Chain A
Amino acid sequence: KQEVTQIPAALSVPEGENLVLNCSFTDSAIYNLQWFRQDPGKGLTSLLLIQSSQREQTSGRLNASLDKSSGRSTLYIAASQPGDSATYLCAALARDYKLSFGAGTTVTVRA
């Protein structure tokens, strides 16, 4: 059974600092890995999707890397802003059609 872990569980940084969020998964036979953002009481917003054949994806200030062999993905957010405060979730899609989520990293960016 796929286990997805996100460390740290919470992170507080001053505005302008770069954020590094970690995601690890136990079964490297994934189809893809997706990063989401969740605001309090809201749904999930898709940020980046990395297919298993890719090493990274970029969108604006966001960059996500994927290392299947070590079972790791990292989300980088450059020059953080207070509006980046949210919970960030990673999810690994396995070849048995099941999507497994990490518990999330709650980010607070202080103005």
Chain B
Amino acid sequence: EAQVTQNPRYLITVTGKKLTVTCSQNMNHEYMSWYRQDPGLGLRQIYYSMNVEVTDKGDVPEGYKVSRKEKRNFPLILESPSPNQTSLYFCASSLSYGLGYTFGSGTRLTVV
């Protein structure tokens, strides 16, 4: 089944403890991106990647890192999480820029 898989689905962590949220797609998509969704603010883009080894900042990149070493994987790294990074995170992919997006099921992150 064609899909975008995020792990974990739920995560509670403490301030300052490094964490990684994984994202993997099995559709050979070139374009991948990360979003966070917050009440009243909607979905905002964190980082995106046009292809392997090509990444760029979205609207809210502060406090996040990404890497794209393989086409199928696009992990989101929080080096030192803070409570303001508590949010619902989505990974998405697209065959190429300008085509439709497929979203993962989301990761609900709580930083205490």
Contact = CB atoms under 8 A, between A and B. Distances in A.
A66 interface: no
Q: Which residue of A32, A36, A41, A43 has the most chain B CB atoms within 10 A of its CB atom?
A: A43
Contact of A93 (B44, B98, B105): B98
A64 to B, nearest CB: 13
B19 interface: no
Interface residues of A, number: 23
A98 B90 contact: no
Interface of B: 33, 35, 40-45, 48, 50, 56, 58-59, 90, 92, 97-106
Contacts of A31: 97-98
A99 B40 contact: no
Most buried by A among B40, B56, B103: B103
B58 A98 contact: yes
Contacts of B102: 46
Interface of A: 31-32, 34, 36, 41-46, 49, 51, 89, 91, 93, 97-104
A45 B92 CA distance: 11
B90 A44 contact: yes
Given A42-B106, A97-B56, A104 B42 contact: yes
A32 B98 contact: yes
Contacts of A45: 103
B42 A43 contact: no
A89 B43 contact: yes
B35 to A, nearest CB: 8
A18 to B, nearest CB: 25
A99 to B, nearest CB: 6
